[in-house]
Every structure is written in structure tokens, then in C-alpha cells.
Amino acid sequence: MAKLLILFAHPALEKSRIHKGMIRHISQIENVTMHDLYEEYPDFDIDVFKEQKLLLQHDVIIWQHPFYWYSAPAIIKQWMDLVLEHGWAYGENGKMLQKKKVFNAISCGGSKEVYSPTGRNRFSISQFLVPFDQTAALCGMLYLPPFVVHGTHRLEKGDIELYSLQYEQLITAFTNDRIQEEEWKSVTYLNELCPIPESIKS
């Protein structure tokens, strides 16, 4: 059994349908720790010691957040700046996070097509996530492909339920060590490991 830590960041969760749905689906799963950063640190005063302890207690770390300006909301950056200390997470003696898995679980308004060389956003999601990828690499962690919900503004109630269910399946699979390295290395999005009907993928 693997232990999962969800580092959740949404400055206005009350306005997000998709994240409410996703959280509702995973909050009861065994071995999943839900850690709501904006709720815990409304003043951005992150308790570094507490955060490091939490990281040590878990095997898979997930940054769950909306995709603001091709990145994460500010508190995730604050968290990285403060918690991933030199000499603890990286550097010659910083080996505390090695071999832990980490990935982003994000929601964004645009469709998969606009995140392509010919699309409006010119780059792919994975390209935008390079800073996270490299942060993980520097800390000796395994950076997995992201879980992405595209086109959130156009989702119907039922679609949100389906995506939430997909997320739940993925998280459950991780807690049971059901996802092998060759599997996640072969996909662009982790979504592909738990397929849902094509028609709603916008």
C-alpha cells in the first residue's frame, strides 16, 4: 500500500465545480491525506517543519490545482520556495525526497487542441509543466505525467462526475500500487490509464 499526499491549492474553491467534485470523490479513500494549503495557510505563513514531516510520511505527492497562467496558484510556488530546502530536498546532503513519485493534477479552461504547436497556447501542457518536472528531478523524485481536466468551462454536471470518478480510480490505483513504471512512462496524461468515453473529452 502506498500513501498519497494531495497538496491542494485553490484560492476560491467555493467557485470551482470540478475541484469540489474531485475532492469529494477522493476524500474517503484510505491512505490518502488531503492537505488544503489555502485553508491551512490563509496568510501564506507555511509551517516548513510540518510540511517536511508530511512529505516524509507519504510515497506519492500530488499537486492538485487549477492551471493559472500556465502554472499553479501562488501558494504552490510559496510552498516550493520554503519547503524544498537546500540540504534537505536537494543539494549534496539533501536526499529526503528521493524516489518519491510526484505529479500535477490540474484543471484548465482550454481544450487539449489549443495546447499544441498550432493551437492558441502554442505549447503542450507537459511543456508548461517543465519547472515542476525539473524541480522533481533536482530532488531525485520521479515526475509522472499530469492528470488533466480540459475545457472545464464547458463541462456538464455529468461530465464533472465522470472526470471525478476517473480521478478517484487513478488515486485508488496508486494507493494499491497498481500503476507500473512502464505504464505511466507510455502515456502523455495519466488520464489514459483510466479511460472514459471520448465524447466528453473536450
Partner 1 sequence: MDQNSFFFQAMVYLASAVLMVPLAKRLGLGSVLGYLLAGILIGPALLGFIGNEGEDILHFAEFGVVMMLFVIGLELEPELLWRLRKSIIGLGGLQVLITALLIAAVAMLIGLDWRQSLALGMILSLSSTAIVLQTMNEKGLMKTAAGQSSFAVLLFQDIAVIPMLALFPLLSVQQPVAVADDNHTRTLVEGLPGWAQTLIVLGSVAAIILAGRFLIRPVFRIVARTRLREVFTATALLLVVGIAVLMSQVGLSPALGTFLAGVVLADSEYRHELESDIDPFKGLLLGLFFIAVGASIDFNLVMEQPLLIAGLVLGLMLLKALVLLFLGRIFKLGVDQNMLFAFALCQVGEFAFVLFSFSLQEAILPKETVDIMVAVVAISMGLTPLVLLINEKLIQPYFGTKEAEPKEADYIDEKNRVIIAGFGHFGNTVGRFLRAHGVGLTILDVDSDRVEVLRKMGFKVFYGDASRYDLLHTAGAAEAKLIIIALEPPDKRLAMIETIKKHFPNLRMYVRAENRFDAYDLMNAGMLHVYRETIDTSLRMGVDVLKNLGVRSYTAHRAARIFFKKDESNLKKLASIKDEEEYINTAREYIEELETILSNERKDNILGNDMSWDEESLIEEARSKMKEEKISGTK
CB of 48 to partner 1, least distance (A): 6
Strands 142-143 and 60-66: unpaired
CB of 45 to partner 1, least distance (A): 5
Q: How many helices (H) does the chain have, and how many strands (E)?
A: 8, 6
Give whichever of 52 and 107 is closer to partner 1, judged by the CB atom.
52
CB of 80 to partner 1, least distance (A): 9
Give whichever of 61 and 149 is closer to partner 1, judged by the CB atom.
61
Rule CB under 8 A: which residues touch partner 1? 43, 45, 47-49, 81-87, 91-92
Q: What is the dihedral of CA 80, 83, 87, 88, to 10 degrees?
A: -110
Could you tell me the sign of the dihedral formed by the alpha carbons of 5, 32, 201, 149, in that order?
A: negative
Strands annotated E in 46-108: 60-66, 101-107
Give whichever of 86 and 153 is closer to partner 1, judged by the CB atom.
86
Q: Residue 89 has which C-alpha cell?
A: 530536498
CB of 13 to partner 1, least distance (A): 17
Give whichever of 62 and 83 is closer to partner 1, judged by the CB atom.
83
